[in-house]
Structure 1
Amino acid sequence: MDIYGLTGSIGMGKSAVAAMLRRQGVPLFDADAAVHRLQGPGGMLLPAIEARFPGTTGSAGVDRQKLGAAVFGNPQDRRALEAIVHPAVKRERNRFLRRYRSRRFVILDIPLLFETGGQAWLDGVIVVTAPAWKQRKRVLARPGMTAAKFRQILDLQTPDAEKRRRADHMIDTGTTFDATRAQVRRLVACLGAKTGR
């Protein structure tokens, strides 16, 4: 089984591309969705997060705004949170890989792929990209987003140009929805042909 990573900076359209890949029948592991489950109501990470960051969890799970405020801009606290979250996500990912081990290829949706060095063990990386002006427009349209917060997020992410340089495959979402979907279909056909699916 070949394992590919799907990544892209904030506002690049990665979630839309992931949904298109799923509709094409590709097994896709969503690291963010796993985090939401682990931190949601009754999530297994709540006790550890509450112990390290008191007052950031409740009956509805993690209060993302409170937890974000506690770790944003503080590298030591961010690393402490990652030490809680990353091992649990890795266990979820390994369960996914076992479940689909008979498939020729799978895709792991990993937002901070390059930032965490996760690309080293993959068979290839798919980068979702778009023009900077479109990225900015998408992100600033999000509730509660500000230009300053957007800049801080970008500072924590590998630049888009660097991601594109290191990509094995790219999907450009700076075009129409139909054109993006056509790119996704071509990618799935390419990966399937490569692995003899």
Structure 2
Amino acid sequence: MRVGLTGGVGAGKTTVARALADLGAVVIDADALAREVVEPGTPGLAAVVAEFGPEVLDDDGALDRARLGAIVFADPARRAVLEAIVHPLVRRRAAELEAAAPAGALVVHDIPLLVETGQGGSFDAVLVVDLPPELQVERLVRDRGWTPEDAAARIAAQASRADRLAVATYVIDNTRTREDLRQRVAEVVAALTGGVS
């Protein structure tokens, strides 16, 4: 079964992905793949540099994510250009990993921009980790050291909470304890794999 996992920045998607993996799912992390496809020496990094210039590289020749982020989060058109380079490479690599998964595995594609990229319909089910925006901001400030303004800007750059919930097959509420979250993930896995939910 192919499952999409998404949620806004700071919603707890990484914690849910770990819980899914602990329960036996094969988790394919789009963020990790997005880093992999632009490592030094890759065609992906060459394409990014050709488009954005050598100033997006650090002193070691690796992608300077902060510098590139400052460019693309300030300009939606430039962000779309970056996504047009990186997203096809990520999808190709994800397909390779999915093909290598054991037969009958629950394969979870962890995709932060699942809604933004219109991929909801390509999965058997979509899991949305949900958290109200004010709690997202609070957690991003507390856990990542972001300013409230930076947190709000990143949240605003993503799909709205309503848009994410509209594609959800299962909503995983992350407003309570970590144990509550893990219990909800176990319920969803049971439902997806034919157990009792």
Report the TM-score, using the length of structure 2 for normalisation.
Answer: 0.89
Aligned to 1:34: 33
Asked if structure 1 preserves the Cα contact closer than 8 Å seen for 2:56 and 2:64, the reply is yes
- Cα distance between partner residues in 1 of 2:182 and 2:73: 34
- Structure 1's 85 and 96: CA in aligned 2 closer, same or farther, altered over 3 A? same
Number of residue equivalences: 193
Aligned to 1:15: 14
Q: Encode CA deviations 1:65-117: one digit per residue, 9 max, x unaligned.
A: 11111222212211211111011101101101211261243111010111110
Q: 1:22-171 alignment to 2 at 5 Å?
A: 22-54=21-53, 55-58=55-58, 59=60, 61-100=62-101, 102-143=103-144, 145-171=146-172
Asked if structure 1 preserves the Cα contact closer than 8 Å seen for 2:34 and 2:86, the reply is yes
- Cα distance between partner residues in 1 of 2:133 and 2:75: 26
- Structure 1's 167 and 80: CA in aligned 2 closer, same or farther, altered over 3 A? same
Return the offset for 1:189.
Answer: 1.3
Return the offset for 1:11.
Answer: 1.0
Q: Encode CA deviations 1:28-61: one digit per residue, 9 max, x unaligned.
A: 1100010112223444422111111111124252
- Cα distance between partner residues in 2 of 1:146 and 1:86: 28
- Cα distance between partner residues in 2 of 1:186 and 1:29: 20
Report the TM-score, using the length of structure 1 for normalisation.
Answer: 0.89
Bigger mean CA offset, 136-145 vs 124-133: 136-145
- Cα distance between partner residues in 1 of 2:149 and 2:135: 17
- Cα distance between partner residues in 1 of 2:15 and 2:144: 18
- Cα distance between partner residues in 2 of 1:145 and 1:86: 26
SS in 1 for 2:78: helix
- Cα distance between partner residues in 1 of 2:81 and 2:114: 19
- Cα distance between partner residues in 2 of 1:6 and 1:111: 8
Asked if structure 2 preserves the Cα contact closer than 8 Å seen for 1:49 and 1:57, the reply is no
- Cα distance between partner residues in 1 of 2:189 and 2:157: 30
Asked if structure 2 preserves the Cα contact closer than 8 Å seen for 1:8 and 1:111, the reply is yes
Bigger mean CA offset, 142-151 vs 102-111: 142-151
Percent of aligned positions that are identical: 35
Aligned residue identity for 2:186: R
Structure 2 unmatched ranges of 5 or more: none
Structure 1 unmatched ranges of 5 or more: none
Return the offset for 1:161.
Answer: 3.0
- Structure 1's 61 and 14: CA in aligned 2 closer, same or farther, altered over 3 A? same
Aligned residue identity for 1:146: T
